[in-house]
Amino acid sequence: MGELFGPYELLAPLATGGMGQIYLARSSRAEGFQKLLVVKMMLAHHSRDEGFVQMFLDEARLAARLNHPNICHIFDLGDVAGTYYLAMEYVPGVDLRSLPKDCGEKGRPLPLPLTCRIIADAAAGLHYAHELTDDAGRPLGLVHRDISPSNVLVSFDGAVKLIDFGIAKATGRTTSTATGQLKGKFAYMSPEQAEGEPLDRRSDIYSLGLVFHELITGRRVLQRDSDTQTLKAARDAHIEPPSQLNPSLPSSIDQVLSRALAKSPGDRYATAQALVLAIEDWLLKGQKPASQSHLSGFLRELYPDHQERSRGPSRNATEDALASTLIRTPSSASFATGARASQSGAPPPRRPRALWGAMALLLGSAVGVAAIIGPKLKPEPPAPPPPPPAPVTHLLSVASEPTGASVKLDGALLGTTPLKVTLDAGTSGTLLLVGPGLVARTHQLRLEKDAELLFQLLRARVKVPIDSEPAGASVKLEGRELGKTPFVWETEPEHRCVLLFELEGYKPAELAVAAEEGSAFKATLEPLPAAPPSSDDSPFKTKGAR
């Protein structure tokens, strides 16, 4: 028998991350009733963080409204002796990050029609979420903001499930994102999301188009060597048609994707349902076999051990794994952590990548996937615990000039500068500082002791239109010519100076300017007065006269 945690029996650890642990579990609420599910527990120190708990509950309120076959279901939210948890649908299958790799290793490429089925079903789940309203019928304006291959699951039955609405934007959330703050994965951001601009449902459509493009071409569309370069690629949005990267693809699929991946939101599909219809029409015209049954058949052939994977680990593996991960929270509730597993000396059992990889996705964001608020259940009486080992942490202080920059560690938001945050010893990754009007800055972090970091952030250059009446004037700054009107002057923000305008036949003019984003300057030149005729030009003058 597995370890008891409240109303659930923990069968095996599936994944551990910086925010929580995920277990395969079994619910036995009534005589003879059993159900496999996934339980995610919040780490003890997060359970004591009011802000983190509020995000966790905020997400639960949102997810209480999500009930669609293409969205992962959440069954329960509660706490056991102060440890918050979510109980969610168990989806035996793979995510879109693992599926292409497995197809490549086995020499069985995913057929284009089945890829279309996956994207169409994911878009159907998105459309449902986008259309969600509150009890009064008012639109919630929900935007997922983190559509990526790791957040789309495909079960061995051919069902497609969206997960991880943890950073979704919606009306009524008590936690919100500041303007200019970036949330999501850079390689799957829409241009407007990469710019930190306000988002609507069309941003999710673009991100799903990127996933579609990647699946059928086998190439990462926007991924570059650094976060800064990837973010720039997302802003530029220069994407080649799929058939140019993969000549085996029909050019007709380019038409479906070109609209989903239009740089301007106004040129994209207005709704995810419109994308669904475009894909279905393409399948219908080509008479392509792409039903859920076809998808299931392909996956079951690709994974001959799918039944074994779906049943979960053996009892011996369960007992060994739980024994090696069991610790106690400060509130005396039993739960597990991968850190303790490594201390036990007994390595965790090897688990099939396709199954456990899919479950590990549910750790994706700071608050995991969405949860339904259910009644809190009385916890099982915990066994007397040993005192927990004190966690080893260090203080990270981050300051910037100017202040107010968003600080992210491997894509997860830590806060804004000036920032003080406590992190586990040995924490490493890429720090990214971004902010409106600032040039992004990266830093490789490895936290071995308390650290204080100070960054001088450069302001992004502004573009200012310069013109004159009449046009064609030469514009100079301190003797250096900037250009001839009209032109766009690129300079430092808040640059205050005096520009000199010169045009033949007109009086020179000076114009004091303060270069700011959105400003424009125009000088009006006065013509020179006409010169009076000289005596030398008299028609009565005798040639050679003195």
Annotated active-site positions, please? 146
Closest listed residue to residue 172, CA positions, set 125, 133, 128: 133
Distance CA 306, CA 310 (A): 6
Report whether 42 contacts 84 (CB < 8 A): yes
Distance CA 399, CA 500 (A): 40
Distances in whole angstroms, Cα of residue 533 to Cα of each of 34, 250, 521, 545: 109, 77, 37, 19
DSSP label at residue 20: E
Q: Is the peptide bond before 470 cis (omega within 30 degrees of 0)?
A: yes
Long-range (24+ apart) CB contacts under 8 A made by 227-231 are: 227/186, 227/430, 227/432, 227/440, 227/442, 228/432, 228/440, 228/442, 230/186, 230/187, 231/182, 231/186, 231/189, 231/194, 231/434, 231/440
| 357-379 exposure pattern, b = at least 16 Cβ within 10 A, e = fewer | bbbbbbbbbbbbbbbbeeeeeeb
Distance CA 112, CA 286 (A): 11
Distance CA 410, CA 192 (A): 20
Residue 486, φ and ψ in degrees, nearest 5: -85, 150
Report whether 292 contacts 117 (CB < 8 A): yes
Strand extents, DSSP E, 298-374: 326-328, 334-336
Closest listed residue to residue 351, CA positions, set 106, 3, 16: 16
Query: Three-state DSSP class for 393?
Result: strand
Distance CA 144, CA 203 (A): 9
CB atoms within 10 A of CB 514: 12
| 11-40 exposure pattern, b = at least 16 Cβ within 10 A, e = fewer | bbbbbbbebbbbbbbbbeeeeeeeeebbbb
Element (H, E) at 527: none
The tokens describing 244, both together, are 């140019």
Distance CA 292, CA 276 (A): 15
